Amino acid sequence: MYANPVAYVFSCIFVIFAHSAMLVNIWFNGNFSEPRDIAILGAAVIILDIAYFVFILFFKQMSYVLDFLLVLILNMSVIFQSCFICKFNFKHYITCIVCLAASKCGYILCKNHKILQDKKKYIYGGIGFLLLLVLVVYFAKHDMWIRIGSFTLQPSEFIKPLFVLACATSIADQQKKHKILCFSVVYENIALFGLMAAICLVQVKSHDYGSLPTFISIYCVGFILRICYPKAKFSKKKLIAVIAVIVVFLIIGLKYAPEYVQHRLHVDIWSDKTGDGYQQSQALIAIANGGWFGVGPGKGFLSNIFAYDNDIVFATVSEEWGLLYALMMVLTIIIITAIPLFNPTRSYYHATMSSCICAAFIVQMALNIFGSCNLIPFTGVTIPFISSGGSSLLVSGFMTGMLMAGQSPVFNVANNPKSKSKPKKQEQAVPAWRWKE
């Protein structure tokens, strides 16, 4: 798209048109008591659209597709969250702006894999610090969040992008094998397995079981890409051994899980509609009540249920906007994760990074939606970009920036200061021919 300004302009028009259509729906079918509130919401959304369209032009990228999809889904989120409370949700709006800024930070920090490769120890150190912080917060306050005024931060969320980077930076060491007993092993793989075990232990200790599948998906995708790395020569017996260890851990986890977790695995929500099945039963009733086109923005009853704006947000959107809008929302997130398939990355490092991020987004979204629909036990995780919550939005934005880095990577060309030859440029952009649209 960088080489095609026409596509850029039409993408801008499409995003503004999509948001305008939602705002028109609110005007005719919404439950806002004051027209002024709709005007404020509309002005805020359109201004953010235009401001971001101008802002991204300062970043020389091979493709802006992810930028357009990101601002599309975030302003959809602003509209949804504002309709839930029938007035402009300023707090969520500010969080979405921070999310957009975080995406550019992720793009700048992750586009050059050589720099991150040299900073690997800081990545591991950051994960260790955050794990320690999770334990300190939990044992000090019996809580998983750090509260700053009306904002809350969940330290475990910030482990996700660092864990993705740990998996991606391990690729370069796959040919550095060492003999231990009868196995040829890579120390980096042992370190990552230990890191995964530490994350699982901390999450279990802090009773944050809902995030475990997301971390496991990141590790599994990174593991598969490591054994598929050219000339890695990963033997079948090692693969069988690793699978056996994972199965043993799953069995132990299910057997010794706390009583309330085991109860969720077998609860009948319709026979316990006032207890553990309350949220899921109300969510299913709301989805059925909304039908395909919804009862109208701000007219649903699910906004009176606890965690309507994060844990069961799919059901809340389905009730007020209809299943059609909810599926469009899901499809937008799926397209974001599918972009690396349309524009393949140019290095194995960026491919691993992008694959791990996409796995995390898909698993997290599936846990929320399937939990709300009672297809799996209720986990209480958020939908990326849609649910309220500062940590979730900030991390989702940063990880989207990492996906952008995979679309427009750069590779360092080292200069020799003693050389008399003409100095080369410090960074060379990847050729744009694969990204022209």
State the chain's mean pLDDT as an integer: 82
Does the pLDDT at position 113 exceed 60? yes
Distances (CA, A) of 78 to 2, 37, 82, 95, 253: 28, 13, 6, 10, 38
> What pLDDT score was predicted for residue 420?
47
Q: Which residue has the tokens 């019996």?
A: 142
Does the pLDDT at position 10 exceed 70? yes
> What pLDDT score was predicted for residue 411?
58
Pseudo-torsion of CA 63, 66, 68, 71, nearest 10°? -150
Q: Which of 389, 207, 259 is nearest to 313 (CA)?
A: 389
What's the pTM? 0.85
Pseudo-torsion of CA 138, 144, 147, 153, nearest 10°? 130
**pLDDT category of residue 432 using cuts at 50, 70 and 90:** very low
- For the purposes of burial, counting CB atoms within 10 Å of the CB of 219, is it exposed (0-12), middle (13-18) or buried (19 or more)? buried
Q: What digits encode the pLDDT tens for the residues 212-231?
A: 889 999 998 888 887 776 65
Does the pLDDT at position 415 exceed 50? no
Question: Distance (Å, rounded) from C-alpha 383 to C-alpha 370?
Answer: 11
Distances (CA, A) of 142 to 122, 145, 205, 208, 399: 28, 9, 11, 12, 28
Tokens of 198: 């530490």
Is the C-alpha dihedral spanning 301, 329, 24, 83 positive or negative? positive
**pLDDT category of residue 360 using cuts at 50, 70 and 90:** very high
Q: What digits encode the pLDDT tens for the residues 26-53?
A: 999 888 888 899 999 999 999 999 999 9
Is the C-alpha dihedral spanning 87, 90, 95, 98 positive or negative? positive
For residue 294, what are the contacts with CB-CB under 8 A and spacing of at least 6?
A: 300, 318, 319, 320, 321, 322, 325
Tokens of 433: 């021919």
Neighbouring C-beta atoms of residue 78, cutoff 10 Å: 23
> What pLDDT score was predicted for residue 23?
94
More confident residue, 165 or 147: 165
Q: Which of 242-251, 324-333, 349-358 is the most confident on average?
A: 324-333
Q: Residues 110-146, buried b or exposed e (16+ Cβ, 10 A)?
A: bbbbeebbeebeebbebbeebbebbeebbeeeeebbb
Please check whether residue 341 is in contact with residue 355, taking contact to mean a CB–CB distance below 8 angstroms: no
> What pLDDT score was predicted for residue 416?
45
How many residues in total does the chain contain?
Answer: 437
- For the purposes of burial, counting CB atoms within 10 Å of the CB of 58, is it exposed (0-12), middle (13-18) or buried (19 or more)? exposed
Which residue ranges make up each domain of the chain? 5-435
> What pLDDT score was predicted for residue 212?
87
Does the pLDDT at position 246 exceed 80? no
Average pLDDT score over residue span 367-373: 88
Q: Which of 251, 290, 261 is nearest to 373 (CA)?
A: 290
The strand pair at 410-412 and 183-185 is best described as unpaired
> What pLDDT score was predicted for residue 39?
93
**pLDDT category of residue 348 using cuts at 50, 70 and 90:** confident
Q: What digits encode the pLDDT tens for the residues 289-300?
A: 988 998 999 898
Question: Distance (Å, rounded) from C-alpha 207 to C-alpha 205?
Answer: 5
